Chains A and B, each alone.
Chain A
Amino acid sequence: MDLAHGLGGGGDLPISASAAVLGGSAALIVSFAVLTMAWRRPRYDNLLGRPGRARRGRPAPGWLAELVDAPWWTRTLRAIGLVLLAFALWCGVAGPDDPGTNPLFGLVYVVLWVGLVPGSLLLGPVVKALSPARTLHRGLTRLLPASRRDGWWSLPAWAGRWPAAAGLVAFAWVELIAPGGTTLPVLAAWFAGYAVVALGGAVLFGPTWFARADPFEVYSTLVAHLSPWSRDHRGRLEVVGPLHHLSRVEPGPGLLAVVSVLLGSTAFDSYRESASWLRFTQANPDGVVLLETLLLLAVCTLLGGLFWLATSTETVVRGISRRTAPSYLAHAVVPIVVGYMTAHYLTLLVETGQSTLIQASDPLGRGWNLFGTADRHVDLWLSLHPELLATVKVLAIVLGHVVGVVAAHDRSLALLPPRRHVTGQLALLAVMVAYTFGGLYLLFGL
């Protein structure tokens, strides 16, 4: 069975016009308040060798730091990752090719793809800790001579996180565009390709490859920069504020591409579900896959291109070139991505997430009840409170915008020469306001 619109069935109501306008106004007011009234000297890490003025993190409780650094804990997490992989493989091999029965689709599109956002926000880089790809690679390298365990070559610096951006486009494509994205053969082919690229790349370039190329790990690690759990310069676990943690996102080639794809693919998903696009594609069914692929790439390029234009044309301080300036600011898009993901996927996570857990008890559709959840029903409380849902969605977008604007402001103070502190931020601020207005407009419905 092929669902024309992926998993999840019913969609949310569009937010009301007044909610969209009020959310947009709040975003605009906050933006200019930050620009004109907020601090004038960088408070957070600016990655230029000058520490910020804000208080750094405080050490995590000793027992917690000991726990997360304990080898048995690390191994337990890896084992959990392998068990989850084994369960997913079993569903894929033995389960029916039917999203109504087989939990595999929900595990991939909801638990992995959407669940990694709250997971990483609360717990830190969960995908890195659980990643079965990393664990399998660690096993594979035992077969290699010790001198080759870190790969044959080192990944060139210019590659940065571009491989992960490509991987994220590939995942968005299979989720949103590929004919049969909710069929087993297509999903199996995608993950076979993922395994080859992830493990092959890691053998060639060493485990750094996962932090540069694994789309799920890179996404999760970026979102984890809004979590309270960080490491200080000596590698000890510490508790930090989200803005401080966000300022530690490693800049570099491809960072802007990664956040643009995350934002662009979600915007594309919203647009693709609109009535006008649906009518157009149903009336002109030939070449829809190609057209949607081009549209997805165009949206991601447009969002990234606007950001690049706004940030690469300003005069910046010595030590940073105009070409690299965008990657020193791209971390500010991460909270906007998280806000928009929350707004877009909250009901999917809560409701389709529940149905995935229900299906997990009977993955082969044989009347089993492995985890005792098979007889549960999906609690539709969230959908039954549409005003609350709409409010949460708009607040998520506005909050993401506020955090993003503050992060961009703080970094701009470090990057821009003093006489350009305010005017130099205007173009970037306009782009971020445009992202947020675009997000609200898509939620409002076309």
Chain B
Amino acid sequence: MTTRRLTLPTLVPAALLTAVLALAGCAGADEENAGPTETASDSSTAEPTPSSSAPAQTADPEPDATPTPKPTPTEQPAPELEITVAGDQVSPNAVELELGIGETLLLRFDADRPGELHVHSKPEQYVDFTAGTSTHELVVTTPGTVEIEEHDSGSVVALVEVS
């Protein structure tokens, strides 16, 4: 007979072992990378968001509006998303954002009608906005890619990578 060839019982475990080892190494690298970003997000949530357009707050009748932010000297501005609603025209168009787990995203609305945002996080969240300008805070605690969708128009305004 011919020389003994590599058989399946040896081949498959060997292949899987290679893949597992490679991925284990890679997951370790990810954790190292993830470390500094998470601490950075922690520091930015710990400090109030610097906001020069704070007067807009006065127009906001919502009880859950953000407390008036004090300008503080942070190295990084807090992440913000400005959403403009004019009837069925909603902008921005699926802008891509990155957010830390538990980090606050400031939503600034400029709307000519009231409406609702569906935040497809796990679990889902809903943000009601009124006509006029208003601000809201959004916090996502589950990692993933989160679509933020204006409900009436069905437009996705942002895709947020939470990690």
- Find the B residue at minimum CB distance from A241: B8
User: Is B15's CB under 8 angstroms from A282's CB?
Assistant: no
User: Is B23's CB under 8 angstroms from A378's CB?
Assistant: no
User: Is B7's CB under 8 angstroms from A39's CB?
Assistant: yes
Interface size of A in residues (CB-CB distance below 8 Å): 48
Question: Known: A5-B147, A9-B120, A18-B26. Contact between A380 and B155, CB under 8 A?
Answer: no
User: Is B26's CB under 8 angstroms from A16's CB?
Assistant: yes
Interface-centre pick from A4, A29, A394, A403 (highest chain B CB count, 10 A): A4
Q: Which of B25-84 contact A (CB under 8 A)?
A: 25-27, 29-31
Question: Known: A16-B30, A26-B18. Contact between A10 and B142, CB under 8 A?
Answer: yes
**A403 / chain B contacts, CB cutoff of 8 Å:** 12
CB<8 Å pairs between A and B, sample of 27:
A4-B156, A10-B120, A10-B124, A10-B145, A10-B146, A11-B144, A12-B145, A13-B163, A19-B30, A30-B11, A33-B6, A33-B11, A38-B5, A38-B8, A43-B8, A243-B8, A275-B94, A278-B94, A278-B159, A282-B155, A384-B142, A386-B144, A394-B19, A398-B16, A402-B11, A402-B12, A403-B12
**B25 / chain A contacts, CB cutoff of 8 Å:** 22
Tell me if A2 is interfacial: C-beta within 8 Å of chain B.
yes
Tell me if A146 is interfacial: C-beta within 8 Å of chain B.
no
- Find the B residue at minimum CB distance from A410: B8
Kindly state the separation between the CA atoms of A13 and B159 in the bound complex, as whole angstroms: 11
Question: Known: A10-B146, A11-B147, A386-B143. Contact between A26 and B26, CB under 8 A?
Answer: no
User: Is A351's CB under 8 angstroms from B122's CB?
Assistant: yes
Question: Known: A2-B154, A11-B145, A13-B144. Contact between A22 and B22, CB under 8 A?
Answer: yes
Kindly state the separation between the CA atoms of A356 and B29 in the bound complex, as whole angstroms: 36
Question: Known: A37-B6, A380-B122. Contact between A12 and B144, CB under 8 A?
Answer: yes
Kindly state the separation between the CA atoms of A394 and B31 in the bound complex, as whole angstroms: 17
Tell me if A74 is interfacial: C-beta within 8 Å of chain B.
no
B81 to chain A, nearest CB (A): 14
User: Is A383's CB under 8 angstroms from B8's CB?
Assistant: no
- Find the B residue at minimum CB distance from A274: B159
Tell me if A279 is interfacial: C-beta within 8 Å of chain B.
yes
Pick the residue among A14, A23, A30, A282 that contacts B23 (CB under 8 A): A23
Kindly state the separation between the CA atoms of A23 and B155 in the bound complex, as whole angstroms: 35
User: Is A22's CB under 8 angstroms from B8's CB?
Assistant: no
Kindly state the separation between the CA atoms of A436 and B145 in the bound complex, as whole angstroms: 23
- Find the A residue at minimum CB distance from B91: A282
Kindly state the separation between the CA atoms of A11 and B122 in the bound complex, as whole angstroms: 9
User: Is A22's CB under 8 angstroms from B23's CB?
Assistant: yes
A7 to chain B, nearest CB (A): 11
Pick the residue among A18, A34, A37, A283 that contacts B93 (CB under 8 A): A283
B146 to chain A, nearest CB (A): 6
Tell me if B137 is interfacial: C-beta within 8 Å of chain A.
no
Type the 1/0 row for B87-101, where 1 means its CB is closer than 8 Å to any CB of A.
Answer: 000000110100000
Q: A9-B124, A282-B156, A394-B23 are in contact. List 18 more A-B contacts (CB 8 A).
A: A4-B154, A5-B147, A9-B122, A10-B144, A11-B120, A13-B161, A18-B29, A30-B18, A37-B5, A38-B11, A351-B122, A383-B142, A386-B143, A386-B163, A390-B30, A391-B24, A391-B27, A395-B23
Question: Known: A10-B142, A12-B144. Contact between A40 and B163, CB under 8 A?
Answer: no
Kindly state the separation between the CA atoms of A402 and B7 in the bound complex, as whole angstroms: 13
Interface-centre pick from B122, B124, B143 (highest chain A CB count, 10 A): B122
Tell me if A406 is interfacial: C-beta within 8 Å of chain B.
yes
A317 to chain B, nearest CB (A): 20
Question: Known: A16-B30, A283-B93. Contact between A395 and B19, CB under 8 A?
Answer: yes
- Find the A residue at minimum CB distance from B96: A275
B150 to chain A, nearest CB (A): 10
**B12 / chain A contacts, CB cutoff of 8 Å:** 402-403, 406
User: Is B23's CB under 8 angstroms from A391's CB?
Assistant: yes
Kindly state the separation between the CA atoms of A403 and B12 in the bound complex, as whole angstroms: 8
Tell me if A66 is interfacial: C-beta within 8 Å of chain B.
no
Kindly state the separation between the CA atoms of A39 and B6 in the bound complex, as whole angstroms: 6
